[in-house]
Amino acid sequence: MTENTQFDGRRWHDMGGSSAGPVPTEQHDFSLWEKRVDALMIIASGKGHFTVDGLRRVLEDMGEEAFETMTYYERWIASVNQNLIEAGVYTTAELAQRMTEVAARGTTYGEAASD
Catalog residues that contact other proteins under the rule CB under 8 A: 6-11, 14, 16-18, 50-51, 53-54, 56-57, 60, 83, 86-87
- In whole angstroms, the minimum distance from the beta carbon of 5 to other proteins comes to 9
How many Cβ atoms are within 10 Å of 15's Cβ, its own excluded? 11
Smallest distance, Å, CB 14 to other proteins? Answer: 5
- Closer CB to other proteins, 57 or 70, in the complex: 57
- Report the C-alpha gap between 61 and 89 in whole angstroms: 21
| Count of CB atoms situated within 10 Å of the CB of 83 | 21
